[in-house]
Structure 1
Amino acid sequence: MKISETVDYPASPDEVFAMLTDERFQARKCEEVGSLSHDVAVSQNGGGTRVVTKRDLPTQDLPDFAKSLIGPRLTITETYEWAAANGDGTRTGDLIVELGGAPVSLRAKLGLAPSGAGTRMSVDGDLKASVPLIGGKIEKTAAPAIIDGIRSEGAVGRSWLAGER
């Protein structure tokens, strides 16, 4: 299932990138969605940056068939691999979101580019559930949560950039 979202931020690409790679921002993003626990690691690799965020979420709001596959906690691991910036701050990257305990993952291309008076982050990828017969049903159930997560990150980011840290 295709996932395509954009998030607009009222800051330069360099400011947005600094925020997205700040461990405190990543921790706040996890807290805002009600994570039971979380870990964040940011590292440099060559000219790029890797951000790995792992969080545990309760599953009480998931459909029964999903809870039976996952259990009482859903572990989500996000891995962002950002390339070095171009001269105008434009960046590309890759995102992998894995749902522990479930055969579901998102693999997406990222873009960070100037847009108007700010920056637009784009996420374009494929959500896959590798379960015979019910994979499509699982993808349709998981897609809104993935999209909500992207939008929530945008809201937390706009607050962060406004000084609400």
Structure 2
Amino acid sequence: MHLTTRDELAGTVEEVYALLTDPGFQDAKCVATTDDAHNFTVDVADAAGAHRVRTERHLPSDGLPDVARSFVGDNLTIIEVHTWSLPAADGSRESVVDLHVKGAPLTLKGTLRLEPSGSGTRQVLDADLKANVPFIGGKIERAAAEPIEGAIEIETALLKEWLAR
């Protein structure tokens, strides 16, 4: 299942990037998208300033089909990694997105781009959600898409709120 989101943000690419790689923002994002335990790391990938951001969040598996819950139990452990590139000539940034559910054959892989757009930034997520389960993979993907899209909306709203400060 293909997921694409486009959002206009009221900050420069560097301002948005600085928030997305800020430990305080990552903590707030995790708190806003889960009511359970979480942890995160923000690593400088190289001396030029590219970052790797890893979050791990624990969510209830309510809403997943019973067969999917048989893989993960009552809780999901979602591991999300963003590996950011250095800025392009136009100032844009791109992250490889790798999200997976621990113990389950469910992944979200793609890119998150930050592009200059007027006086702000366009954030574009382009990713594929895949459940590698014969016969019922599509059903699992559809069930997982709604909470994933909800988490993306919460994160984007939080990003807009922090940019407005």
1:117, distance to aligned residue in structure 2 (A) = 2.5
Match of 2:35 in 1: 35
Structure 1 residues 23-68: Cα deviation after superposition (integer angstroms, max 9, x where no partner)? 1101111111233011111111124210001111122344444333
Percent identity reads 41
Structure 1 residues 109-134: Cα deviation after superposition (integer angstroms, max 9, x where no partner)? 12101112211111111111111111
Equivalenced residues, count: 163
Is 1:113–1:119's contact at 8 Å kept on the other side of the alignment? yes
Match of 1:148 in 2: 150
Structure 1 residues 82-129: Cα deviation after superposition (integer angstroms, max 9, x where no partner)? 101124421112000111132100101121011122111111111111
Name the SS of the counterpart of 1:78 in structure 2: strand
Q: List runs of 5+ in structure 2 lacking aligned partners.
A: none
Match of 2:138 in 1: 136
Distance (Å, rounded) in 2 between the aligned partners of 1:77 and 1:35: 16
Letter of the structure 1 residue corresponding to residue 22 of structure 2: D
Distance (Å, rounded) in 1 between the aligned partners of 2:102 and 2:64: 15
**Deviation beyond 4 Å, 4+ runs, structure 1:** none
Distance (Å, rounded) in 1 between the aligned partners of 2:118 and 2:153: 20
Match of 1:106 in 2: 108
Q: List runs of 5+ in structure 1 lacking aligned partners.
A: none
Does 1:115 find its partner at 2:114? no
Distance (Å, rounded) in 2 between the aligned partners of 1:59 and 1:136: 17
Pick one of 136, 149, 157 that aligns with 2:159: 157
Letter of the structure 2 residue corresponding to residue 17 of structure 1: Y
Distance (Å, rounded) in 1 between the aligned partners of 2:37 and 2:81: 17
Distance (Å, rounded) in 2 between the aligned partners of 1:130 and 1:23: 32
Distance (Å, rounded) in 2 between the aligned partners of 1:97 and 1:155: 20
CA RMSD of aligned residues (A): 1.5
Does 1:20 find its partner at 2:20? yes
Distance (Å, rounded) in 1 between the aligned partners of 2:54 and 2:124: 18
